[in-house]
Amino acid sequence: MYLWRQTHDPVYRQWGWEVVTALEKYCRTEAGFSGIQDVYSSIPNHDNKQQTFFLAETLKYLYLLFSEDDMLSLEDWVFNTEAHPLPVNHSDSSSRAGGRL
């Protein structure tokens, strides 16, 4: 998502779409999405678990990859490792850090 926003190189959306189609093909079940035990196998063996991060992180980043850039400004928001948006503090923080920033 970040590389797409910075470059608008269509390859990033192409790769994202390949992820979407692979999730549909290999991970989709009647009840949602499942992890698979061996990603190198052509026939997926589901582990019958939908991890919490799948919705909270994976789908959120895919959504943002395909959304319009102005939906969420990366100048004003940053995402932590769990894909939670945090507001950017635009105040001069270098003065509080003794100029080290």
Spell out the per-residue pLDDT of the chain, length 101, in tens. 889 999 999 999 999 999 999 999 999 999 999 999 998 988 889 999 999 999 989 999 999 999 999 888 889 999 888 888 999 998 866 555 555 55
Separation CA 39–CA 47 (nearest Å): 12
- Is 81 marked as a binding-site residue? yes
- Residue 54 within any structural domain of the chain: yes
Please count the CA atoms within 13 angstroms of the CA of 80 that sit on its side-chain side.
Answer: 7
- The answer to whether position 76 is within a domain reads yes
pLDDT given for residue 12 in this prediction: 98
Instruction: Return the biggest CA–CA distance within the chain.
Output: 57
User: Containing domain of residue 18, as a range?
Assistant: 1-87
Which H or E run includes 78? strand 77-79
Do residues 30 and 39 make contact, with C-beta atoms less than 8 angstroms apart?
A: no
User: How many domains does the structure of the chain reveal?
Assistant: 1
Q: How many CB atoms lie within 10 A of CB 33?
A: 19
pLDDT in the model for residue 100: 56
